[in-house]
């Protein structure tokens, strides 16, 4: 039991990658993993601090482990990830049952910290330290595992940290300053992933298009990196997330237009449509500049799908600011949007300087209005796909065979039946799920031998969240 680990991950793709690396490293050190926390001698939470809710969720899970920790004397409870850096040793005061606090910049030492906590019977804490960058790079470069659930797709970290300091955001504080990984190391990792059968790679960074690696007189930007990774045989699709509007240059648009493996997809958060709020957020662009960029992208890369993020209820957001956000959403016509209610983060500029003055009820209402508006846009734009043939990478069996009964009203029952796992549509066929180059989710009834392949399908029906398709013979 001592060597058995239960690991739970919250937060973004950065955390999921960190969790994969922790799993790999601990596996090499002789640990085994269990999905049953009750069977574990080590419990690890990889935590997120981006909103208070993300912290509350894991703090309550940690709280529930107090009694067990009192009973099982050798149990080690480790808190890794962004909240470990944000709260540091204060976590021991909040929850005395915590044994290890390990920030994102120290995950290469997690095994050592666990061993020391156990043998010295003393709490261990390791916070971010810029001196550890080369050890972190070694850990990233050592990556061999991929996500078992999605063997044909992988995220690949190209940079760590963030330098933007948007006034509401905790990420630069918990993940540290921006560091771009060496291009050779990234290309080697992409090659290894392709050798293992990965067909689609998503390059990952908090502001991925700010990627910039200097070595002597050569500077490698994201456009150059895409061109290098593009050369790898076996790889069929490339994406990159998340882009920061101000750092988007013509060379990157040209790379998207010219490199056939680079998908017609951008995740480009606007956060707000009001110039006054954008300035208070320290985003350093206006709604007009953002719209210009979208227009240039649509000219250079026809059919490009754009995903976005918005925060509602930022301090001082008045009705007219919110209206401007709705207007931006209508003009961009996003493929999908992530919408968040402002959550004050201690230590950030917005929290220090501005009162969280938008009432909870107003935040809730604005959030719902944006969700409804986006749903209307997604539904209309998805319906335009009906009758078209699109290319999808088939990811695997659909985990949720009733996807089509989403939020857009009841599905056509006959079609639902034909998509059901037990449906008699075609002997040996099951419900599969895949994605288009524009990242639209597609569900189809087909034989499982299509999994892992890129195939053309014809869209026969659409909801706001999903395209329903049939194989093209």
Question: If you ran DSSP here, which 8-state letter would residue 111 be given?
Answer: H
Q: Residue 291 to residues 209, 334, 444: CA-CA distances in angstroms?
A: 18, 12, 35
Q: How far apart are CB 47 and ligand F3S at their closest, in Å?
A: 7
Does the footprint of ligand SF4 cover residue 172 (CB under 6 A)?
A: yes
Residue placing its CB nearer to ligand F3S in the complex, 5 or 50:
50
Write a three-state SS string for 249-290: CHHHHHHHHHCCCECCEEECCCECCCHHHHHHCCCCCCHHHH
Q: How far apart are CB 13 and ligand SAH at their closest, in Å?
A: 10
Q: How far apart are CB 2 and ligand SAH at their closest, in Å?
A: 36
The DSSP bridge pattern shows strands 32-33 and 4-9 to be parallel
Strands (E) in 14-53, as ranges, are 32-33, 42-47
Asked if residue 333 lies in contact with residue 268, where contact means CB atoms within 8 angstroms, the answer is no
Residue placing its CB nearer to ligand SAH in the complex, 124 or 209:
209
Quick one: which segment of 42-50, 288-296, 382-390, 391-399 binds ligand F3S (CB under 6 A)?
A: 42-50
Does the footprint of ligand F3S cover residue 308 (CB under 6 A)?
A: no
Residue placing its CB nearer to ligand SF4 in the complex, 207 or 466:
207
Does the footprint of ligand F3S cover residue 49 (CB under 6 A)?
A: yes
Does the footprint of ligand SF4 cover residue 162 (CB under 6 A)?
A: yes
Residue placing its CB nearer to ligand SAH in the complex, 265 or 342:
342
Q: Find which of ligand SF4, ligand SAH, ligand F3S, none residue 49 binds, CB within 5 to 8 Å per kind.
A: ligand F3S
Handedness of CA 157, 158, 160, 161 (dihedral sign): negative
Query: Would you state the structure tokens that stand for residue 153, as one six-digit string?
Result: 């797709």
Q: Find which of ligand SF4, ligand SAH, ligand F3S, none residue 463 binds, CB within 5 to 8 Å per kind.
A: none
Among 104, 17, 38, 153, which residue's Cα sits nearest to residue 454? Answer: 153
Among 193, 267, 262, 275, which residue's Cα sits nearest to residue 223? Answer: 262
Does the footprint of ligand F3S cover residue 50 (CB under 6 A)?
A: yes
Does the footprint of ligand SF4 cover residue 206 (CB under 6 A)?
A: yes
Determine which residue in the list 7, 82, 102, 337 makes contact with ligand F3S, applying CB under 6 A: 82
Asked if residue 209 lies in contact with residue 223, where contact means CB atoms within 8 angstroms, the answer is no
C-alpha to C-alpha distance for 80 and 288, rounded to whole angstroms = 40
Residue placing its CB nearer to ligand SAH in the complex, 168 or 173:
168
Q: Find which of ligand F3S, ligand SF4, ligand SAH, none residue 100 binds, CB within 5 to 8 Å per kind.
A: none
Question: If you ran DSSP here, which 8-state letter would residue 411 be given?
Answer: P
Does the footprint of ligand SF4 cover residue 432 (CB under 6 A)?
A: no
Determine which residue in the list 12, 136, 194, 268 makes contact with ligand F3S, applying CB under 6 A: 12
Does the footprint of ligand F3S cover residue 171 (CB under 6 A)?
A: yes
Query: Would you state the structure tokens that stand for residue 71, as one six-digit string?
Result: 């009973």
User: What is the contact surface with ligand SF4 in residues (CB under 6 A)?
Assistant: 162, 164-166, 169, 171-172, 206-207, 244
């Amino acid at each position: 039991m001592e060597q058995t680990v239960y690991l739970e991950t919250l937060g973004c793709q950065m955390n999921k990658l960190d969790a994969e690396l922790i799993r790999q490293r601990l596996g090499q050190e002789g640990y085994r993993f269990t999905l049953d926390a009750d069977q574990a001698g080590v419990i690890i939470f990889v935590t997120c601090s981006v909103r208070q809710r993300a912290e509350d969720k894991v703090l309550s899970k940690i709280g529930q482990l107090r009694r067990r920790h009192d009973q099982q004397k050798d149990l080690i409870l480790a808190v890794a990830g962004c909240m470990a850096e944000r709260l540091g040793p204060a976590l021991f005061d909040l929850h005395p049952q915590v044994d290890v606090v390990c920030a994102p910049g120290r995950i290469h030492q997690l095994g050592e910290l666990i061993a020391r906590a156990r043998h010295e019977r003393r709490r261990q804490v390791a916070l971010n330290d810029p001196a550890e960058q080369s050890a972190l790079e070694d850990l990233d470069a050592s990556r061999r595992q991929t996500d078992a659930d999605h063997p044909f797709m992988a995220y690949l970290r190209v940079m760590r940290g963030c330098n933007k300091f948007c006034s509401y955001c905790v990420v630069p504080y918990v993940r540290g300053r921006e560091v771009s990984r060496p291009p050779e190391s990234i290309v080697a990792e992409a090659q290894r992933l392709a050798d293992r059968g990965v067909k689609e790679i998503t390059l990952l960074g908090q502001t991925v298009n700010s990627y910039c690696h200097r070595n002597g007189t050569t500077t490698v930007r994201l456009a150059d990196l895409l061109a290098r990774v593009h050369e790898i045989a076996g790889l069929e699709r490339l994406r990159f997330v998340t882009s920061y509007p101000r750092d988007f240059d013509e060379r990157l648009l040209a790379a998207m237009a010219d490199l056939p493996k680079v998908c017609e997809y951008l995740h480009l958060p606007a956060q707000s449509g009001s110039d006054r709020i954008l300035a208070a957020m320290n985003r350093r662009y206006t709604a007009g500049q953002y719209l210009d960029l979208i227009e240039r992208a649509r000219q250079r890369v026809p059919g490009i799908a754009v995903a976005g993020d918005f925060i509602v209820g930022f301090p001082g957001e008045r009705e007219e600011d919110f209206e401007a956000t709705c207007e931006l959403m209508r003009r961009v016509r996003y493929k999908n949007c992530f919408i968040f209610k402002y959550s004050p983060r201690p230590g950030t500029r917005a929290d220090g300087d501005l009162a969280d003055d938008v009432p909870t009820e107003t935040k809730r209402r604005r959030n719902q209005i944006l969700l409804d508006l986006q749903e209307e846009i997604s539904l209309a734009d998805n319906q335009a796909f009906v009758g078209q043939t699109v290319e999808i990478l088939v990811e695997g069996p659909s985990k949720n065979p009733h996807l089509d009964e989403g939020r857009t009203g009841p599905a056509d029952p006959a079609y639902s039946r034909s998509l059901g796992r037990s449906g008699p549509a075609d002997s040996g066929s099951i419900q599969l799920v895949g994605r288009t180059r524009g990242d639209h989710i597609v569900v189809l009834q087909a034989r499982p031998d299509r999994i892992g392949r890129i195939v053309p399908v014809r869209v026969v029906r659409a909801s706001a969240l999903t395209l329903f398709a049939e194989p093209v013979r």
